[in-house]
Amino acid sequence: MPPVGLSALAASVVAPPTIRVGDPNHPALLAAAVAKAYRLGAKLIIINPGLYLLPATGRPTFELNRWKNVTISAYHVVLMMHVKHGGNCFQLDRCRDVTIAGPTISQTRVTFYQGRISSIAKDQGGWSCRWRPDEGYPFPAEGAKNFPRDFDVVNASTRRLRVGSGDIRAATFASAGRHAFRLTFRTLWQKFKVGDWLVARWGRAFQKVMLNHSRRCTIKDVTMKRNGFAPIFEVAGGANRLIACRWVLGPPPPGASTLPVVTNQADGFHCVNAYPGPDIERCVTHGVFLDDCIAIHGEFQRVIASTLGSLTVKDNRNAMLTVGQPIQISNSHGFFAASQVRAIARKGNASIITLSRNIVAPIGAFVTNPLRCGWGYKVLDCRIGDTRSRGMLLKASDGLVRGNIVRGCGMAGISIGPEYWWHEAGYCRNVLVENNTLIDNGKGGLGAYYAAVYIHGDAAMGNSRITVRNNRFIGNYSGAVAVEWCRNSLVACNVIDEPAHTAFDTAKLPDIITISHSHHVTLEHNQTIAAAAAQTAPARQPASK
């Protein structure tokens, strides 16, 4: 036998850059095969096409712990998660430069109620209806006294959320025959019709993709069905990308004769404490969502003690405070200050924060690190909506929202600013919202909270340099733009179709642009398109100047 040359020897010990894995007839072996391919040094792991019924192990199926520089390509692959005894599908822990591309990820059960209104009656002081869950879908236990959650109304004709309904909670809830229930409401007017669906959350589902402290990872061409809360969830990562992902209606459950109307039990993509924030491009949602399509935010912590230039918080981990990085301090009584963290000293279950400025923070104020709220995010060329809540819930600075279509949201199509109620930070600066189309948003009610673009500050002047320009607003029910608690901002060159007002049983036409509790907000070259001709968009005078 001739001697083996050095080049041949080298080739024999170097793993191939591409490894194919997977047999749909043996789905329990898939995760181990993917992990082995990575250990062998594969840079591209291709999963063979087919349907894989993932085993119920009680753990994540694909556990990627500190993986780097690898792509898992799963085009024409369906991964079916086990809801009751499973775990997350892809769990990326402290990974770098990992790409997940191509799979359709579904689950064995739907996690929402879906049923029809069969009759409606007017009662003293309100309304009642008879509701029957669709065959094959979850139903409350017989004898249940309370509907498990608020529910929403889906129009039987359009399969979209009914205008003017919003979240509804039944005053009473009682059985009305086998798998049928009677609900009463103390509302002044009827918000649904016979044949409409009432839908609500039920149970829980695991994440399709969990990004935990991972950076520069890409989730591409992933299709998600039968989703629970946040099928893509990012925690404390940075510079991750979602490219051309799709949230779509799944198939009907076994025994069902009715197609589902709900795609997502809650948020579609939820991002917490990222720095830099995510890059979301060309993503699409279909069907009804029961919470925000996209949510990007940080977290607040409370001040429990304060002296000049120093403050104490109970625990600084949620707020992600870091020496040398900025800190925002605010409360709902108008206090807002920004500084830099000079030092952090642990003291029991609390942290003493030394500031670079001589600030005395009010006890009970909220603090956060504005960099760890998703700073630098992008949402580009997406098509989202049909949610009972917001299309985009954005609580970070230096953001870009461009070229999107946001349609049919119960609340704001694009919401910018913090929410103390959820302890979600932070205040937003240098955000550009341009060249978007917002259609039929604010379906749940009238007022600034439901404007198509809503900038808010929870009573502190922390938002600034927000630009809303060159957008098209079509038929939004609760106004186009509402600006609150904001300074040095611009609303310009937007084209606004005057909305219809008949859907809310009121003669009041919503204000098209509203400004309140704000300073130096400039309006210029905005136009409305009414029945006659375009005119300059009216705006209420600022509450403060």
* pLDDT tens track for 435-453: 999 999 999 877 788 999 9
Structure tokens, 160 = 């979209």
Percent of the chain, pLDDT > 90? 76
What pLDDT score does 509 carry?
67
Angle at 292 between CA 287 and CA 297, to 5 degrees: 150
Does the pLDDT of residue 303 top 50, yes or no?
A: yes
Q: pTM of the predicted model, to two decimals?
A: 0.93
Q: Are 504 and 164 in contact (CB under 8 A)?
A: yes
**Measured between alpha carbons, how far is 45 from 21 in angstroms, rounded to an integer?**
7
The torsion defined by the Cα of 101, 102, 108 and 111, in degrees rounded to 10, comes to: 70
* Residue the block writes with tokens 């009305």: 176
Q: Using pLDDT thresholds of 50, 70 and 90, give the confidence band for residue 171.
A: confident
Does the pLDDT of residue 6 top 60, yes or no?
A: no
Ramachandran category for residue 471: left, alpha or beta (phi over 0 → left; psi -120 to 50 → alpha):
beta
Average pLDDT over residues 249-263: 95
Average pLDDT over residues 233-261: 96
**Measured between alpha carbons, how far is 15 from 315 in angstroms, rounded to an integer?**
47
Beta-bridge partner residues of 18 = 44
Which helix or strand (DSSP H or E) is residue 532 part of? none
Q: Using pLDDT thresholds of 50, 70 and 90, give the confidence band for residue 544.
A: very low
pLDDT digits (tens, 9 = 90+) for 83-127: 877 799 999 999 999 999 999 999 999 999 999 999 999 877 788
Does the pLDDT of residue 537 top 50, yes or no?
A: no
Q: Using pLDDT thresholds of 50, 70 and 90, give the confidence band for residue 360.
A: very high
What pLDDT score does 501 carry?
53
Ramachandran category for residue 213: left, alpha or beta (phi over 0 → left; psi -120 to 50 → alpha):
left
Does the pLDDT of residue 503 top 70, yes or no?
A: no
Ramachandran category for residue 222: left, alpha or beta (phi over 0 → left; psi -120 to 50 → alpha):
beta
Does the pLDDT of residue 306 top 90, yes or no?
A: yes
**Measured between alpha carbons, how far is 543 from 533 in angstroms, rounded to an integer?**
30
Average pLDDT over residues 335-347: 95
Does the pLDDT of residue 3 top 50, yes or no?
A: no
**Measured between alpha carbons, how far is 380 from 365 in angstroms, rounded to an integer?**
34
Better-scored residue on pLDDT, 83 or 394: 394
Between strands 197-201 and 152-154, the pairing is antiparallel
Structure tokens, 460 = 């502190």
Does the pLDDT of residue 199 top 60, yes or no?
A: yes
Q: Using pLDDT thresholds of 50, 70 and 90, give the confidence band for residue 319.
A: confident
**Measured between alpha carbons, how far is 111 from 157 in angstroms, rounded to an integer?**
23
Better-scored residue on pLDDT, 204 or 428: 428
Average pLDDT over residues 136-145: 82
Which among 382, 355, 362, 361 is positioned nearest to 296, based on CA atoms? 382
Structure tokens, 137 = 């879908």
pLDDT digits (tens, 9 = 90+) for 9-63: 344 445 579 999 999 999 999 999 999 999 999 999 999 999 999 999 999 999 9
Least confident stretch, 102-116, 131-145, 480-494: 131-145
Structure tokens, 311 = 């403050």
Beta-bridge partner residues of 107 = 81
